[in-house]
């Protein structure tokens, strides 16, 4: 087996990236707070933030449950044993990373810490470059045409 077939990454980049983005957002929010929208729009954004957090919980739970049922790893630095295409994976190839991004945006809307919003986008971009693209090569190397057909049907994010 080639190296990419054995493991998509040496490090579990996504949790590292998102935790760093959250920590940086909080630090910047404390050190350099940006102005936030006033009521009543801030109240609507607060509610929307909670909806995004709820969506993230549902998305992550669905994805993790689907992966457990398929008996494949959730760890982004370990080889996939099975190609998962059902559940949340039927409408996004990366439901957990999408959930992490929604969580950051939701927390930003709830707390009014504006830094969460651009850093959520930066974290998603870094995750795509450091993890997703390698994971896609890993899945193609392991599952071939089945993965390519799946990738044609289902978008990377949404």
Q: What is the pLDDT of residues 85-105, one digit of tens each?
A: 999 999 999 999 999 999 999
Output the six-digit token pair for 15: 């949790």
Q: Which pLDDT belongs to residue 77?
A: 87
Residue 64 CA from chain centroid, whole number = 12
- Region of 71 (left: φ > 0; alpha: ψ -120 to 50; beta: rest) is left
Are 36 and 44 contacting, i.e. CB atoms less than 8 angstroms apart?
Answer: no
Token couple for 132: 């997703």
Q: Quick one: how far is CA 40 from the chain centroid?
A: 30
Residue 9 has pLDDT above 80, yes or no: no
Q: So what's the pLDDT on residue 10?
A: 79
Alpha helices in 9-153 (DSSP H): 13-31, 41-69, 95-111, 116-127, 133-143, 145-153
pLDDT mean over 131-147 = 95
DSSP letter for 149, please: H
- What is the Cα–Cα distance from 53 to 66, expressed in whole angstroms? 20
């Amino acid at each position: 087996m080639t190296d990419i077939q054995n493991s998509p990454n040496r490090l579990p980049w996504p949790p590292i990236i998102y935790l760093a983005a959250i920590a940086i957002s909080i630090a910047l929010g404390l050190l350099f707070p940006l102005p936030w929208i006033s009521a009543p729009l801030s109240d609507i954004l607060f509610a929307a933030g909670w909806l995004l957090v709820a969506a993230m919980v549902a998305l992550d739970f669905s994805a993790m449950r689907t992966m457990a049922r398929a008996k494949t790893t959730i760890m982004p630095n370990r080889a996939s044993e099975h190609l998962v295409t059902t559940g949340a994976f039927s409408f996004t190839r990366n439901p957990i990373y999408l959930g992490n991004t929604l969580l950051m945006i939701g927390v930003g809307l709830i707390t009014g810490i504006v830094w969460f919003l651009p850093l959520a986008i930066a974290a998603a971009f870094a995750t795509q470059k450091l993890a997703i693209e390698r994971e896609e090569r890993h899945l193609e190397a392991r599952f071939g045409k089945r993965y390519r057909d799946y990738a044609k049907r289902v978008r990377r994010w949404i």
